[in-house]
Amino acid sequence: MIMVLLTIEGWAQLTVVSGTVVDAETRDPIAGASVTMGSVAVVTNDDGFFTLKNNEWGEVVVSHLGYGSQRIVVDSQPNKPLTIALKVAPIRLQEVLVMAGDARELVLSAIGRIPVNYPRKAESYHCFYREKVMKRQNYISVAEGVVDMYKTGYSRSIGRDRTAIRKGRRLLSPRRGDTLTVKVMGGPNYAVLLDVVKNDEFLLDPEELDLYELKMEPPTTLADRRQYVVSLTPRVTTENALYFGRLYIDQETLAFTRTELELDMRDRQKAARVMLVKKPLGLRFRPKELSLIVDYRMGDDGLTRLSYLRTTMRFNCDWRRRLFATSFDAFCEMAVTNITADEDVQPIKGRDSFDQRDAFYDKVDYFRDPAFWQDYNIIEPTESLDKAIDRLLKRHGK
Protein backbone atom coordinates (compact mmCIF):
# COMPACT_ATOMS: atom_id res chain seq x y z
CA MET A 1 0.00 0.00 0.00
CA ILE A 2 1.22 3.49 -0.77
CA MET A 3 -0.45 6.52 0.75
CA VAL A 4 0.16 9.68 -1.25
CA LEU A 5 -0.58 13.04 0.39
CA LEU A 6 -0.53 15.98 -1.98
CA THR A 7 0.11 19.51 -0.74
CA ILE A 8 1.43 22.70 -2.31
CA GLU A 9 4.08 24.48 -0.26
CA GLY A 10 5.11 28.09 -0.50
CA TRP A 11 8.24 27.37 -2.56
CA ALA A 12 7.40 28.48 -6.10
CA GLN A 13 4.22 26.36 -6.19
CA LEU A 14 6.22 23.23 -5.54
CA THR A 15 4.44 19.90 -5.86
CA VAL A 16 5.05 17.75 -2.77
CA VAL A 17 4.07 14.09 -2.84
CA SER A 18 4.47 12.09 0.37
CA GLY A 19 3.61 8.51 1.13
CA THR A 20 4.40 5.15 2.65
CA VAL A 21 5.18 2.05 0.59
CA VAL A 22 4.30 -1.34 2.06
CA ASP A 23 3.84 -4.91 0.88
CA ALA A 24 0.31 -5.49 -0.41
CA GLU A 25 -0.07 -8.79 1.43
CA THR A 26 1.88 -8.41 4.67
CA ARG A 27 1.46 -4.62 5.05
CA ASP A 28 5.13 -4.41 6.07
CA PRO A 29 6.91 -1.20 5.03
CA ILE A 30 9.25 -1.50 2.03
CA ALA A 31 12.56 0.28 2.54
CA GLY A 32 14.66 1.43 -0.40
CA ALA A 33 11.79 1.53 -2.91
CA SER A 34 12.41 3.86 -5.85
CA VAL A 35 9.91 6.69 -6.27
CA THR A 36 10.17 8.85 -9.40
CA MET A 37 8.24 11.69 -11.03
CA GLY A 38 9.72 12.70 -14.36
CA SER A 39 13.44 13.33 -13.85
CA VAL A 40 13.11 13.62 -10.05
CA ALA A 41 13.64 10.58 -7.81
CA VAL A 42 13.86 9.60 -4.14
CA VAL A 43 13.87 6.33 -2.18
CA THR A 44 11.79 5.27 0.80
CA ASN A 45 13.39 5.19 4.23
CA ASP A 46 13.41 2.19 6.59
CA ASP A 47 9.81 3.01 7.55
CA GLY A 48 8.78 2.88 3.90
CA PHE A 49 8.11 6.64 3.90
CA PHE A 50 9.10 9.18 1.25
CA THR A 51 8.58 12.78 0.22
CA LEU A 52 9.10 13.83 -3.40
CA LYS A 53 9.22 17.47 -4.55
CA ASN A 54 8.81 18.62 -8.13
CA ASN A 55 7.91 21.77 -10.04
CA GLU A 56 5.00 20.17 -11.89
CA TRP A 57 2.40 17.42 -11.66
CA GLY A 58 3.11 14.13 -13.37
CA GLU A 59 3.15 10.36 -13.09
CA VAL A 60 4.60 8.89 -9.90
CA VAL A 61 6.28 5.51 -10.47
CA VAL A 62 7.08 3.25 -7.51
CA SER A 63 9.29 0.15 -7.92
CA HIS A 64 11.30 -2.27 -5.84
CA LEU A 65 13.23 -5.48 -6.34
CA GLY A 66 10.89 -8.47 -6.59
CA TYR A 67 7.71 -6.38 -6.96
CA GLY A 68 5.63 -5.15 -9.86
CA SER A 69 5.80 -1.37 -10.36
CA GLN A 70 2.89 0.94 -9.65
CA ARG A 71 2.08 4.12 -11.59
CA ILE A 72 -0.03 6.96 -10.21
CA VAL A 73 -1.09 9.88 -12.42
CA VAL A 74 -1.00 13.04 -10.31
CA ASP A 75 -2.57 15.94 -12.21
CA SER A 76 -4.48 17.70 -9.44
CA GLN A 77 -4.75 17.69 -5.68
CA PRO A 78 -7.12 14.85 -4.64
CA ASN A 79 -9.68 15.16 -1.90
CA LYS A 80 -8.17 12.26 0.02
CA PRO A 81 -4.92 10.27 0.06
CA LEU A 82 -4.42 7.63 -2.61
CA THR A 83 -3.84 4.01 -1.58
CA ILE A 84 -1.96 1.65 -3.96
CA ALA A 85 -0.49 -1.82 -3.28
CA LEU A 86 2.89 -3.15 -4.40
CA LYS A 87 2.45 -6.81 -5.26
CA VAL A 88 5.15 -9.46 -5.46
CA ALA A 89 5.97 -10.17 -9.10
CA PRO A 90 5.34 -13.84 -10.04
CA ILE A 91 8.07 -16.07 -11.49
CA ARG A 92 6.90 -17.96 -14.56
CA LEU A 93 8.17 -21.49 -15.09
CA GLN A 94 9.75 -20.89 -18.50
CA GLU A 95 11.89 -18.08 -17.07
CA VAL A 96 13.49 -20.41 -14.55
CA LEU A 97 15.13 -22.36 -17.37
CA VAL A 98 17.82 -19.67 -17.79
CA MET A 99 19.50 -20.97 -14.61
CA ALA A 100 21.19 -23.65 -16.68
CA GLY A 101 23.34 -21.03 -18.46
CA ASP A 102 27.01 -20.25 -17.79
CA ALA A 103 27.11 -17.53 -15.13
CA ARG A 104 30.61 -16.32 -15.98
CA GLU A 105 29.83 -16.00 -19.69
CA LEU A 106 26.69 -14.04 -18.81
CA VAL A 107 28.63 -11.61 -16.62
CA LEU A 108 31.35 -11.19 -19.27
CA SER A 109 28.65 -10.51 -21.89
CA ALA A 110 27.12 -7.87 -19.59
CA ILE A 111 30.55 -6.28 -19.12
CA GLY A 112 30.95 -6.14 -22.90
CA ARG A 113 27.69 -4.20 -23.20
CA ILE A 114 28.58 -1.51 -20.64
CA PRO A 115 29.47 1.05 -23.38
CA VAL A 116 26.02 0.52 -24.91
CA ASN A 117 23.91 0.38 -21.75
CA TYR A 118 25.35 3.33 -19.80
CA PRO A 119 25.89 7.05 -20.57
CA ARG A 120 28.66 7.81 -23.05
CA LYS A 121 28.87 11.52 -22.20
CA ALA A 122 29.56 13.37 -18.97
CA GLU A 123 26.59 14.03 -16.68
CA SER A 124 25.90 15.95 -13.49
CA TYR A 125 23.97 14.24 -10.67
CA HIS A 126 22.25 15.93 -7.75
CA CYS A 127 22.20 13.65 -4.70
CA PHE A 128 21.24 13.42 -1.06
CA TYR A 129 23.73 11.83 1.35
CA ARG A 130 23.30 10.75 4.97
CA GLU A 131 25.53 8.94 7.45
CA LYS A 132 24.58 8.00 10.98
CA VAL A 133 26.36 6.20 13.80
CA MET A 134 24.74 4.27 16.63
CA LYS A 135 26.30 3.19 19.91
CA ARG A 136 24.33 0.17 21.03
CA GLN A 137 20.72 1.32 20.37
CA ASN A 138 21.35 5.06 20.54
CA TYR A 139 22.29 7.51 17.78
CA ILE A 140 25.48 9.37 18.66
CA SER A 141 26.06 11.26 15.39
CA VAL A 142 24.18 12.24 12.25
CA ALA A 143 25.50 14.06 9.19
CA GLU A 144 23.60 14.71 5.97
CA GLY A 145 23.66 16.97 2.97
CA VAL A 146 22.97 17.75 -0.66
CA VAL A 147 25.82 16.66 -2.93
CA ASP A 148 26.73 17.30 -6.56
CA MET A 149 28.42 14.51 -8.51
CA TYR A 150 30.15 14.79 -11.88
CA LYS A 151 30.52 11.59 -13.86
CA THR A 152 32.31 11.15 -17.16
CA GLY A 153 31.02 8.66 -19.71
CA TYR A 154 31.26 4.96 -18.88
CA SER A 155 33.86 4.43 -21.60
CA ARG A 156 36.30 6.33 -19.34
CA SER A 157 37.76 5.53 -15.92
CA ILE A 158 36.61 7.07 -12.63
CA GLY A 159 39.72 9.28 -12.54
CA ARG A 160 37.85 12.53 -13.30
CA ASP A 161 34.62 11.70 -11.44
CA ARG A 162 34.09 14.05 -8.49
CA THR A 163 31.64 14.90 -5.70
CA ALA A 164 31.14 18.23 -3.95
CA ILE A 165 29.02 19.29 -0.97
CA ARG A 166 26.38 21.90 -1.81
CA LYS A 167 24.74 22.04 1.61
CA GLY A 168 25.16 19.94 4.75
CA ARG A 169 24.68 19.70 8.51
CA ARG A 170 25.73 17.51 11.43
CA LEU A 171 24.97 16.69 15.05
CA LEU A 172 27.04 14.87 17.67
CA SER A 173 25.99 13.50 21.04
CA PRO A 174 27.32 15.68 23.91
CA ARG A 175 27.00 12.88 26.48
CA ARG A 176 30.21 12.26 28.42
CA GLY A 177 29.80 8.49 27.95
CA ASP A 178 29.90 8.87 24.14
CA THR A 179 33.58 9.79 24.05
CA LEU A 180 34.56 7.53 21.14
CA THR A 181 33.90 9.38 17.89
CA VAL A 182 33.29 7.20 14.83
CA LYS A 183 33.87 8.94 11.50
CA VAL A 184 33.30 7.53 8.04
CA MET A 185 36.11 8.34 5.62
CA GLY A 186 35.25 8.92 1.99
CA GLY A 187 31.64 9.90 2.59
CA PRO A 188 29.81 10.71 -0.67
CA ASN A 189 32.95 9.92 -2.66
CA TYR A 190 32.07 6.24 -2.21
CA ALA A 191 29.46 6.82 -4.91
CA VAL A 192 32.42 7.08 -7.28
CA LEU A 193 34.42 4.18 -5.87
CA LEU A 194 31.47 1.79 -5.44
CA ASP A 195 30.07 2.30 -8.92
CA VAL A 196 31.07 -1.28 -9.71
CA VAL A 197 30.02 -0.96 -13.35
CA LYS A 198 32.44 1.90 -14.01
CA ASN A 199 35.13 1.12 -11.43
CA ASP A 200 35.87 -2.32 -12.86
CA GLU A 201 38.98 -2.69 -10.67
CA PHE A 202 36.67 -3.13 -7.70
CA LEU A 203 34.85 -6.25 -8.89
CA LEU A 204 34.14 -6.69 -12.60
CA ASP A 205 37.68 -6.98 -13.89
CA PRO A 206 38.07 -10.49 -15.41
CA GLU A 207 41.06 -11.25 -13.17
CA GLU A 208 39.06 -10.16 -10.12
CA LEU A 209 36.16 -12.37 -11.19
CA ASP A 210 38.55 -15.35 -11.29
CA LEU A 211 38.67 -15.14 -7.48
CA TYR A 212 34.98 -16.03 -7.26
CA GLU A 213 32.69 -18.93 -8.03
CA LEU A 214 29.78 -17.58 -10.08
CA LYS A 215 26.45 -19.35 -10.06
CA MET A 216 23.04 -18.68 -11.64
CA GLU A 217 20.25 -18.12 -9.11
CA PRO A 218 16.45 -17.92 -9.63
CA PRO A 219 15.51 -14.79 -11.62
CA THR A 220 13.56 -11.87 -10.21
CA THR A 221 11.90 -8.60 -11.25
CA LEU A 222 13.02 -4.99 -10.92
CA ALA A 223 10.94 -2.08 -12.27
CA ASP A 224 8.79 -4.57 -14.25
CA ARG A 225 11.86 -5.93 -16.04
CA ARG A 226 13.08 -9.51 -15.66
CA GLN A 227 16.50 -9.90 -14.08
CA TYR A 228 19.13 -12.61 -14.16
CA VAL A 229 20.66 -13.17 -10.71
CA VAL A 230 24.29 -14.32 -10.36
CA SER A 231 25.75 -15.17 -6.95
CA LEU A 232 29.42 -14.69 -6.07
CA THR A 233 31.30 -16.82 -3.54
CA PRO A 234 35.04 -16.57 -2.80
CA ARG A 235 36.78 -19.65 -4.21
CA VAL A 236 40.41 -18.84 -3.30
CA THR A 237 42.28 -17.39 -0.34
CA THR A 238 43.96 -14.04 -0.96
CA GLU A 239 45.81 -11.42 1.07
CA ASN A 240 42.68 -9.28 1.12
CA ALA A 241 39.16 -10.10 2.25
CA LEU A 242 36.75 -10.93 -0.59
CA TYR A 243 32.98 -10.62 -0.83
CA PHE A 244 29.87 -12.76 -0.95
CA GLY A 245 27.22 -11.21 -3.15
CA ARG A 246 24.73 -11.09 -6.01
CA LEU A 247 24.72 -9.36 -9.36
CA TYR A 248 21.41 -8.48 -11.02
CA ILE A 249 21.43 -8.25 -14.83
CA ASP A 250 18.57 -7.09 -17.06
CA GLN A 251 17.52 -10.05 -19.22
CA GLU A 252 16.81 -7.89 -22.28
CA THR A 253 19.65 -5.34 -22.27
CA LEU A 254 22.23 -7.22 -20.13
CA ALA A 255 22.72 -4.06 -18.05
CA PHE A 256 23.86 -4.45 -14.45
CA THR A 257 20.96 -3.12 -12.38
CA ARG A 258 21.88 -3.96 -8.78
CA THR A 259 24.83 -5.26 -6.77
CA GLU A 260 24.65 -6.70 -3.25
CA LEU A 261 27.95 -7.44 -1.49
CA GLU A 262 28.93 -8.58 1.99
CA LEU A 263 32.54 -8.69 3.14
CA ASP A 264 33.89 -12.11 4.11
CA MET A 265 34.30 -12.01 7.91
CA ARG A 266 35.93 -15.40 8.37
CA ASP A 267 39.33 -13.73 8.79
CA ARG A 268 38.72 -10.80 11.13
CA GLN A 269 42.14 -9.26 10.59
CA LYS A 270 41.63 -9.07 6.84
CA ALA A 271 38.17 -7.60 7.32
CA ALA A 272 39.52 -5.00 9.74
CA ARG A 273 42.08 -3.86 7.15
CA VAL A 274 39.23 -3.12 4.76
CA MET A 275 37.01 -1.32 7.27
CA LEU A 276 39.34 0.48 9.68
CA VAL A 277 41.37 3.59 8.79
CA LYS A 278 42.82 4.36 12.23
CA LYS A 279 41.99 4.03 15.92
CA PRO A 280 43.28 5.26 19.29
CA LEU A 281 46.15 3.35 20.86
CA GLY A 282 44.87 0.57 23.10
CA LEU A 283 41.44 0.30 21.47
CA ARG A 284 40.50 -3.11 20.07
CA PHE A 285 38.43 -3.11 16.90
CA ARG A 286 36.41 -6.22 16.07
CA PRO A 287 34.54 -6.15 12.73
CA LYS A 288 31.16 -7.84 12.45
CA GLU A 289 29.66 -6.74 9.11
CA LEU A 290 30.32 -4.65 6.03
CA SER A 291 27.56 -4.84 3.43
CA LEU A 292 26.96 -2.80 0.27
CA ILE A 293 24.00 -2.19 -2.02
CA VAL A 294 24.42 -0.36 -5.34
CA ASP A 295 21.27 0.26 -7.41
CA TYR A 296 20.95 1.45 -11.02
CA ARG A 297 17.86 2.68 -12.85
CA MET A 298 17.00 2.74 -16.56
CA GLY A 299 15.98 6.15 -17.90
CA ASP A 300 13.51 7.07 -20.62
CA ASP A 301 16.42 7.18 -23.09
CA GLY A 302 17.14 3.48 -22.50
CA LEU A 303 20.40 4.16 -20.64
CA THR A 304 21.03 2.80 -17.14
CA ARG A 305 22.41 5.11 -14.44
CA LEU A 306 23.50 4.98 -10.82
CA SER A 307 20.54 5.66 -8.52
CA TYR A 308 21.19 4.57 -4.91
CA LEU A 309 23.98 3.32 -2.65
CA ARG A 310 23.90 2.04 0.92
CA THR A 311 26.64 0.73 3.20
CA THR A 312 26.21 -0.90 6.60
CA MET A 313 29.14 -1.36 9.00
CA ARG A 314 28.87 -3.13 12.34
CA PHE A 315 31.73 -3.60 14.77
CA ASN A 316 32.65 -3.85 18.43
CA CYS A 317 35.19 -1.70 20.26
CA ASP A 318 36.68 -2.16 23.70
CA TRP A 319 39.68 -0.94 25.63
CA ARG A 320 42.17 -3.43 26.94
CA ARG A 321 41.49 -4.59 30.50
CA ARG A 322 37.78 -3.89 30.13
CA LEU A 323 35.39 -6.80 30.42
CA PHE A 324 32.64 -5.83 27.96
CA ALA A 325 32.80 -4.54 24.40
CA THR A 326 30.60 -1.80 22.99
CA SER A 327 28.76 -2.34 19.71
CA PHE A 328 28.65 0.33 17.00
CA ASP A 329 26.65 0.53 13.77
CA ALA A 330 27.49 3.00 11.00
CA PHE A 331 25.15 3.51 8.04
CA CYS A 332 25.70 5.57 4.90
CA GLU A 333 23.29 6.06 2.02
CA MET A 334 23.11 8.27 -1.03
CA ALA A 335 20.27 8.71 -3.51
CA VAL A 336 20.53 10.36 -6.92
CA THR A 337 17.59 12.79 -6.96
CA ASN A 338 18.08 14.53 -10.32
CA ILE A 339 20.30 14.27 -13.40
CA THR A 340 21.56 16.89 -15.83
CA ALA A 341 22.67 15.40 -19.14
CA ASP A 342 23.36 18.21 -21.59
CA GLU A 343 26.33 19.74 -23.38
CA ASP A 344 26.80 22.40 -20.67
CA VAL A 345 27.70 19.97 -17.89
CA GLN A 346 30.84 21.24 -16.20
CA PRO A 347 33.32 19.15 -14.20
CA ILE A 348 33.80 19.81 -10.48
CA LYS A 349 37.06 21.62 -9.87
CA GLY A 350 39.65 19.86 -7.78
CA ARG A 351 39.65 22.50 -5.03
CA ASP A 352 35.88 22.15 -4.66
CA SER A 353 35.75 18.36 -4.71
CA PHE A 354 35.34 16.01 -1.76
CA ASP A 355 38.42 13.86 -1.22
CA GLN A 356 38.14 10.17 -0.36
CA ARG A 357 40.49 10.84 2.57
CA ASP A 358 38.02 13.35 4.03
CA ALA A 359 35.24 12.71 6.53
CA PHE A 360 31.90 14.26 5.58
CA TYR A 361 31.28 15.01 9.25
CA ASP A 362 34.28 17.38 9.32
CA LYS A 363 33.08 19.33 6.26
CA VAL A 364 29.65 20.46 7.51
CA ASP A 365 28.35 22.47 10.48
CA TYR A 366 25.93 21.91 13.34
CA PHE A 367 22.26 22.59 12.66
CA ARG A 368 18.94 23.29 13.34
CA ASP A 369 16.88 25.14 10.78
CA PRO A 370 13.23 24.09 10.19
CA ALA A 371 13.49 25.12 6.52
CA PHE A 372 16.99 23.73 6.02
CA TRP A 373 16.12 21.53 3.03
CA GLN A 374 13.69 23.95 1.36
CA ASP A 375 12.89 22.44 -2.07
CA TYR A 376 15.69 19.83 -2.04
CA ASN A 377 14.71 16.17 -2.35
CA ILE A 378 16.02 14.07 0.52
CA ILE A 379 15.73 10.59 2.01
CA GLU A 380 13.19 11.23 4.75
CA PRO A 381 14.48 10.41 8.26
CA THR A 382 12.82 7.47 9.93
CA GLU A 383 10.57 8.12 12.89
CA SER A 384 13.23 6.81 15.28
CA LEU A 385 15.93 9.01 13.71
CA ASP A 386 13.67 12.06 13.89
CA LYS A 387 13.13 11.48 17.61
CA ALA A 388 16.85 10.87 18.15
CA ILE A 389 17.73 14.16 16.44
CA ASP A 390 15.27 16.00 18.68
CA ARG A 391 16.85 14.43 21.77
CA LEU A 392 20.36 15.36 20.62
CA LEU A 393 19.27 18.94 19.95
CA LYS A 394 17.78 19.24 23.44
CA ARG A 395 21.04 18.02 24.94
CA HIS A 396 22.81 20.73 22.98
CA GLY A 397 20.28 23.26 24.27
CA LYS A 398 19.06 24.07 20.74
- The mean pLDDT value for 167-183 works out to 75
Start-to-end CA distance of the chain, whole Å, equals 37
Tell me the CATH class for 96-367.
Answer: mainly beta
Question: Is there a shared CATH topology between the 2-84 domain and the 96-367 domain?
Answer: no
CA nearest to 147, candidates 371, 306, 382: 306
Say if CB 225 and CB 255 are below 8 A apart: no
Residues 306 and 300: their CA atoms lie apart, in Å, by 14
What are 241-293's pLDDT values in tens digits? 999 999 999 999 999 999 999 999 999 999 999 999 888 888 889 999 999 99
Model confidence, pTM: 0.89
pLDDT surpasses 50 at 205: yes
CA nearest to 150, candidates 123, 127, 129, 190: 123
For residues 16 and 63, which has the higher predicted lDDT (pLDDT)? 63
Helix, strand, coil abundance in the chain, percent, nearest 5: 15, 45, 40
For the chain, the average pLDDT equals 86
CA nearest to 170, candidates 140, 125, 134, 149: 140
What are 352-393's pLDDT values in tens digits? 888 888 888 888 887 666 677 878 899 888 888 888 877 777
pLDDT at res. 196: 94
Domain ranges of the chain: 2-84, 96-367
Superfamily of domain 2-84, CATH level 4: Carboxypeptidase-like, regulatory domain (2.60.40.1120)
pLDDT at res. 368: 63
Please name the amino acid found at residue 319: W
pLDDT at res. 100: 45
What are 22-70's pLDDT values in tens digits? 999 999 999 999 999 888 999 999 999 998 888 878 899 999 999 999 9
Paired sense of beta strands 365-366 and 162-172, if any: parallel
- The mean pLDDT value for 90-95 works out to 60
What are 295-340's pLDDT values in tens digits? 999 999 999 999 999 999 999 988 766 656 889 999 999 999 999 8
